Amino acid sequence: MVNSSFKNQITSNLGSLHPRQRAWVEINRSAIEFNTRVLHKLIAPTSQLMAVVKADGYGHGALNAAESAQAGGASSYGVATLQEGVQLRQGGIQAPILVLGNLIQSEELRACHHWRLMPTISTIREALICETLGSGSGRIMPLHLKLDTGMTRLGVNWKEGSRIAKALSELKGIKIAGIYSHLAMADVSNKVETFTHLQKQRFLEVLNNLDNQNMNFGYRHLANSAGTLHDSGLHFDMVRVGLALYGQVPSSKLTSITNLKPALQLRARVTLIREVPSGVGVSYGHGHTTSIPSRLAVISIGYADGIPRVLSGQMQALFKGQRLQQVGKITMDQLILDCTSVKSLTVGSIVTLLGKSGKHQINTFDWSEKCNTIPWEILCGFKHRLPRLVLNTND
């Protein structure tokens, strides 16, 4: 039987384990602030920047991202869910927060009003609930009307936009604080000029109809990260920046437009070195077999941490400016690197899986293109058993 005091000591020690014990994500707040400043300079002085910090700040930590973006000039925030907005308020964020997802229940919208969050409205039904809440509380409820100009997701059909907006203007308990739409193809280079232009024209048609009726509906916003970087004509009164805020670009063709700093680096430790002869199978299924006597490093990170298993045999890691090839199948908790030519790598050494080492860098595009996915999914995939280390560096 284990002594109770010994068990208590073990439990206490577990709580004090260093976050760099196994594998971790490093978040550079200074990079987020820097990127916000760079992006702010791209937009007109009359335009504002909304920092999109949904999905826990794309894996960077929502509060970290919000505070850093505010220091860089962001004036408001975008979240996807009610809970995300409440967490920002509980963390001390006082700036306007727009809930980009649909809130459909009275209880949700009541909580939204209580926490001074702005809901997105896609139907009259939700607007009427907001009207009741605003009138009943004696405090007008601000909201944003969304138009579907081609995303075919949330929002009222743009053809009905003017009529719906006029109907909302007659409700006394609400205030239309903004009107917006979402670009569907701004990050698809061969379709940017065509469909994005069509969406802009549809958006403008609604806005012009409202202007002709002398209606003012607060901030007009259309551009996401790709739209912000691609075309200043999409900026209107405000831009909604997500991916670019974190130093990533939606398309490799946009990398030359501005110099952003990736705010996230992924690192892990070597836990074992194996010396094996040629002809040895490695990991599940022996998908890799050594062709020469090899030195293999076991790294304590796997697909349960967010490393896509489809990267097996396709990814690399960095160590002191040198590239190491990953071999064999990526497993739930480990992956294996071939370190035959890098004798200085030892047990306890730290490798970089995403980020910079010396003159080399591995970014989310290196992964997403091999996985046939997008950088957004890579960033949002890192699980919370990976500690987040918050740094402030200018590197």
Residue 237: CB atoms within 10 Å: 17
- 3-state SS of the chain? CCCHHHHHHHHHHHHCCCCCCCEEEEEEHHHHHHHHHHHHHHCCCCCEEEEECHHHHHCCCHHHHHHHHHHHCCCEEEECCHHHHHHHHHCCCCCCEEEEEECCCHHHHHHHHHCCCEEEECCHHHHHHHHHHHHHHCCCEEEEEEEECCCCCCCEEHHHHHHHHHHHHCCCCEEEEEEECCCCCCCCHHHHHHHHHHHHHHHHHHHHHHHHCCCCCCEEECCCHHHHHHCHHHCCCEEEECHHHHCCCCCHHHCCCCCCCCCEEEEEEEEEEEEECCCCEECHHHCEECCCCEEEEEECCCHHHCCCHHHCCCCEEEECCEEEEEECCCCCCCEEEECCCCCCCCCCCEEEEEEEECCEEECHHHHHHHHCCCHHHHHHCCCCCCCEEEECCCC
CA distance 13 to 370: 40
The residues annotated with a catalytic role in the active site are 54, 284
Tokens linked to 29: 């707040």
Does 153 show up as a binding residue in the annotation? yes
Q: What are phi and psi of 348, to 5 degrees?
A: 95, -15
Annotated binding site for substrate: 153, 332
Annotated binding site: 153, 332
